[in-house]
Amino acid sequence: MSQQAITPELCDWIAEQSRAGHPSQNILAAMLGSGWDEAIARQALARTLGQSATLTAPAGATPGLPEPDLSRFAPVLDAGDRPVKVVMALRQPRVVVFADLLSGEECDGIIALATQRLSRSETVATGGDGSEVNAARTSDGMFFERGETALIQRVEGRIAALLRWPLDHGEGLQVLRYSPGAEYQPHYDYFDPAHASTANILRRGGQRVGTLVIYLNTPAAGGSTIFPDIGLDVAPVKGNAVFFSYDRPHPATQTLHGGSPVVEGEKWVATKWLRQGVFN
């Protein structure tokens, strides 16, 4: 499998299948049935079709994945009430870095709202339902209800417009504060299908399909968002954000990511997770 290569002939075949009306998930299944390594097959699909093969969505879910309009690769995108700059875009995995998603005043406002409600961050419980404190996540955090304040509502509307994903398909914003030495070790954001609590979690909107991490300040040193599988580090710059999507709950999406330790100062981030269906 390690010797498999994405050749022009393979890309031509994928393009022919797509023109014939075969959905990307069927093309992927055919490649896997022929012995292709899944990661290479997905890279070939992304290179040829410009997006990753989408997962099969449950009834009532929005098809496809959240995705900014990069069809013309314009350096500035219209996010409804604010122009947002595109700094970098990677096709496979889909990772996009934005600049000036939030103003400095909006970042400061979210921090001020969140400060009084912080508690030790938790993750999905290891052995069952619920959540628990995890040594891999050494931050303090809180959640806003969707549309809780005028500021939160404005930011959520901007995110929905930028990523072209329904507003009600998003979880409430989570704000995290990382003190010096704090980190979040590499992990995936999708819900593990094998986990005991996943079935209950999925009843509230289906799987997660995308993540947007917004930097609310610029730490003096450290605190980058890291993607170990692809060797990418994204610097935390106030008002900027990194977006990534994942079409299935599987490591083949190459969306393993984490927050590297803060070396000096604090790091504040706001995270928006996007679901397949209406989150309630």
Q: Based on the domain organization, do 45 and 81 belong to the same domain?
A: no
CA distance 228 to 185: 11
Element (H, E) at 120: strand 119-120
- CA torsion 278-249-216-132 (nearest 10°) is 90
Residues 264 and 205 in one domain: yes
Domains held by the chain: number: 2
Indicate if 86 and 15 belong to the same structural domain.
no
DSSP string, 23-47: -HHHHHHHHHHTT--HHHHHHHHHH
Q: What is the span of the domain harbouring residue 29?
A: 8-49
Per-residue pLDDT at 3: 74
Q: Indicate if 13 and 114 belong to the same structural domain.
A: no
Q: Model confidence over 20-38: pLDDT tens digits?
A: 877 777 788 888 889 998 8
Q: Do the domain assignments include residue 280? A: no
pTM: 0.78
Tens place of pLDDT for every residue, the chain, 280 residues? 457 888 989 989 998 887 787 777 778 888 888 999 887 888 788 778 764 444 455 556 777 899 999 998 899 999 999 999 999 999 989 999 999 999 999 999 999 999 999 987 655 555 555 555 456 667 899 999 999 999 999 999 999 999 999 999 999 999 999 999 999 999 999 999 889 899 999 999 999 999 999 999 999 999 999 999 999 999 999 999 999 999 989 998 999 999 999 999 999 999 999 999 999 9
CATH number reported for the structural domain that contains residue 172 in this entry: 2.60.120.620
What token pair was written down for 78? 């219209």
Residue 82 tokens, joined: 């604010």
- What is the reported pLDDT for 21? 74
Residues 26 and 120 in one domain: no
Residues 95 and 41 in one domain: no
Q: In 3-state terms, the chain is what percent helix, strand and coil (to 5)?
A: 25, 25, 50
Confidence at residue 25, expressed as pLDDT on a 0 to 100 scale: 73
Note whether residue 227 is domain-resident: yes
